[in-house]
Amino acid sequence: MTPDDHKQSEEVARPGIDARRGMALAVVLSGIFVTVMDNSIVNVAIPTIRSTLHASFGEAELTVASYALAFSAGMITGGRLGDIYGQRRVFMVAFAAFTLTSFVCGIAPNIQVLIAGRLLQGASAAMLSPQVFALVRMSFADGGERRVAFSAMGMAIGLANVTGLVLGGVIIHADLFGLAWRMVFLVNLPIGIAAIFLTPLVLADVHSDDRKRLDLAGVALSTLAMLLLMVPLVEGPESGWAGWPIAMLVASPIAFVGFYLHQRWKSQRGLSPLLETDLFGDRAFIVGALLILIFWGSTTPFNFSYVLLMQTGYGYSALATAGSLAILGGAFGIVSPIAGRLASFGVRRIMMAGVIVDLVGMLLALVLCRTVDALPAAWFLPSLLLVGVGMGLFMTPILNTVMSGIQDRHVGSASGILTTMQRGGNALGVAALEVPFFLALSGAESRGLSQASAYVQAFGAVAFWNVLMLLAVVGLLLLLPGRTAGASQ
C-alpha cells in the first residue's frame, strides 16, 4: 500500500457529512443528475415523439442530437463562467434556465419547437454541469467530506445514465395524465424548483478570489472545435458519412490545437484565458481525464445497443427493457456507496477491480453472442449485473482521484474539461460503436438470420469493442500516479 493510500485510509475513519451539509450535497448533485438523465431518457421516448408530433425519423433524432451538441460545445465556457461570477450564482441561473427549457420541451406543440427547446436545454446543461464539479470540490474541503461527496457524485452520474432509460420506459408505459412523452421533460420541473429554492439556504457561495474576465476569443475557438468534432459524430451516420462529416472530423484536431495554442499564449501572459493550460502539466489529471473519456465511452454504447437488442431484436416493450436494465442500475446503486468505503484497500486497486469485473461482464456477453444459437434474452442478465458492479467500483472513486489535487484557481477549467470528457466519451462511444453494430446487423441479416439472432450478433460486436476499450482503461490505470484523495493544493 502506498503512502497516499495510507492517508486515504485515515480519512475513511473521519466523520462523513452531517445532515445539513448532506442536504447541500443532495441539492448540488441534483444538477448533475438531471443533465445526465436527460440525455438518455429521451431515447426511450423517440417512437412516441415521432407518432404524436408526426415527425420524421431524422427530426426525432435531432431532439437527441441538439441537446448533445449544445451540451458538449458549451462545457468549457460553462466551467469558466463559474470562476468569474461564482459557482453558486451560475448554478442557480443555469438550473433555472434548465428548468424553464424543460418546460418548453414538455409543452412543445410541434417538432420544431421541441428541437429548439432541446438546443437551449443543452446549452443550460453546459453551464450547470461544471458548477457541480466545482461546488463539490470547493464546498467540501475536508478530506473525509470530500471523499464522501465525490463518491456520491460518481454514484449520481452512474445512476442517472441508467435511470434515464429505466424511468423513460416507466413514464411512457404509465402515460401519466395522458401526457405520454411530455412527462420525460416535465419531470425535471419539481427537481429544478426545489433546487433553486434550497440552494441559497444550504450552500455557501465559494469561489476563487482571482479576478477574471471571460475570454470571448477562447469561447469562439473552443465552441468551433467542439462543433467540428460533435456535429459529424452525431449526424454523420444519418448522412451516410458523406463528404462534409469527414471534412469536419479532419478539421477538428486543427481547431483544438489552435484553441490550445491560443490559451497557452494567454496563460503565459496572465491574460485570463478560458482554459488554464497549466492543468496539462498535471499527469494525474491528464491520465484521469483519459480514463473518464474511455470508460464513459464504453458505457453508453453498451446501454444503447442493449435497448435496441431488447426492443427491436427481441420485441420487448420499453417497460420490460427498463425492468432488465434495473438490474444493472440496482447493482450500481448497491456497490457505489460500498466502493467509497473501501479506500483503505487502495483507490487504484478498487478502480482496477471495477474495470476487471466490468470486463468479465462484457466478455460473458461476447461469448454468449458468439456461441449460443437462439440465445434467450434472460441469459444477458448476469452480464448486466457484472457491468453494474464494475461501474459502481470504478465511477465512484475516479472523480475524487482526479479532482482532489486540483488547485482552487483551476477548478472551473478542470470541471469544464471533465464534463467535456464525460459527454464527449458518450458521444464518441455511440458514434464509433454504431458502425460495427450496424455492420454486424447487416451481415447477419444478409446471411438469413432471424431478427433476434441478427441483433444478438450486432450486440456482440459492441461487446467486443468494449472489451478492447476496457483493456485500454486497465493500461491507463497502471500509469495513474498516486495522489491523496482530498488533498488541497
What would the DSSP string read from start to end of 375-400? --GGGGHHHHHHHHHHHHHHHHHHHH
Return the higher-pLDDT residue of 94 and 207.
Answer: 94
Q: Is residue 426 part of a domain?
A: yes
Confidence class of residue 408 from pLDDT cuts 50, 70 and 90?
low
- On whether both 109 and 20 belong to a single domain, the answer is yes
Return the higher-pLDDT residue of 1 and 302.
Answer: 302
Q: Is residue 484 part of a domain?
A: no
Pick the last residue of a domain from 268, 283, 304.
Answer: 268
- On whether both 332 and 473 belong to a single domain, the answer is yes
- On whether both 75 and 120 belong to a single domain, the answer is yes
Which pLDDT value is given to residue 238? 64
- On whether both 258 and 153 belong to a single domain, the answer is no
Residue 425 burial by CB count (10 A; 0-12/13-18/19+): exposed, middle or buried? buried
Q: Is residue 76 part of a domain?
A: yes
Cell 478492447 appears where? 468
- On whether both 452 and 319 belong to a single domain, the answer is yes
Residue 470 makes CB contacts below 8 A (sequence gap 6+) with: 295, 298, 355, 358, 359, 362
Q: Is residue 141 part of a domain?
A: yes
- On whether both 130 and 244 belong to a single domain, the answer is no
Q: Is the pLDDT of residue 22 over 70?
A: yes
- On whether both 142 and 230 belong to a single domain, the answer is no
Q: Is the pLDDT of residue 324 over 50?
A: yes
Instruction: Give the pLDDT mean for 335-364.
Output: 86
The DSSP result for 23-59, as a single string, is HHHHHHHHHHHHHHHHHHHHHHHHHHHHHHHT--HHH
Which pLDDT value is given to residue 270? 75
- On whether both 259 and 120 belong to a single domain, the answer is no
Residue 93 burial by CB count (10 A; 0-12/13-18/19+): exposed, middle or buried? middle
Residue 219 makes CB contacts below 8 A (sequence gap 6+) with: 77, 274
Return the higher-pLDDT residue of 308 and 240.
Answer: 308
Which pLDDT value is given to residue 8? 43
Which pLDDT value is given to residue 269? 80
Pick the last residue of a domain from 268, 287, 308.
Answer: 268
- On whether both 296 and 439 belong to a single domain, the answer is yes
Range of the domain at 227: 216-268
The DSSP result for 217-268, as a single string, is HHHHHHHHHHHHHHHHHHHHHHHTS-HHHHHHHHHHHHHHHHHHHHHHHHHH
Q: Is the pLDDT of residue 432 over 90?
A: no
Determine phi and psi for 17, rounding to 5 degrees. Answer: -120, 130
User: 419 to each of 157, 190, 211, 343, 390, how far by Cα in Å?
Assistant: 11, 24, 24, 24, 21
Q: How many CB atoms within 10 Å of residue 220?
A: 14
Asked whether the beta carbons of 220 and 152 are under 8 A apart, the reply is: no
CATH number of 436's domain:
1.20.1250.20
Q: Is residue 487 part of a domain?
A: no
Instruction: Give the pLDDT mean for 214-227.
Output: 85
Q: How many CB atoms within 10 Å of residue 327?
A: 18
- On whether both 298 and 161 belong to a single domain, the answer is yes
Q: Tell me the per-residue pLDDT of 72-114, one tens digit each, with 9 for 90 and over.
A: 788 888 888 888 888 899 999 999 999 999 999 999 999 999 9
Q: Is the pLDDT of residue 160 over 90?
A: no
Instruction: Give the pLDDT mean for 307-328.
Output: 85
Which pLDDT value is given to residue 1? 44
**CA–CA dist 306, 458 (Å, integer):** 10
- On whether both 356 and 461 belong to a single domain, the answer is yes
- Poorest-pLDDT segment among 75-79, 155-159, 340-344, 384-388: 340-344
Residue 99 burial by CB count (10 A; 0-12/13-18/19+): exposed, middle or buried? buried
The SS3 of residue 360 is: helix
- Poorest-pLDDT segment among 123-132, 242-251, 274-283: 274-283
Nearest to 202 by CA among 415, 31, 17, 26: 26
Which pLDDT value is given to residue 109? 92
Q: What is the CA radius of gyration of the chain?
A: 22
Return the higher-pLDDT residue of 4 and 87.
Answer: 87
Confidence class of residue 390 from pLDDT cuts 50, 70 and 90?
very high
Return the higher-pLDDT residue of 474 and 273.
Answer: 474
Q: Is residue 283 part of a domain?
A: yes
Q: Is the pLDDT of residue 289 over 80?
A: yes
Q: Is residue 249 part of a domain?
A: yes
**CA–CA dist 241, 237 (Å, integer):** 6
Which pLDDT value is given to residue 211? 60
Q: Is residue 288 part of a domain?
A: yes
Instruction: Give the pLDDT mean for 362-385.
Output: 91
| Residue type present at position 447 | R
- On whether both 82 and 159 belong to a single domain, the answer is yes
**CA–CA dist 349, 226 (Å, integer):** 34
**How does the average pLDDT of the chain come out, rounded?**
82
- Domain count within the chain: 2
Pick the last residue of a domain from 247, 268, 289.
Answer: 268
The SS3 of residue 174 is: helix
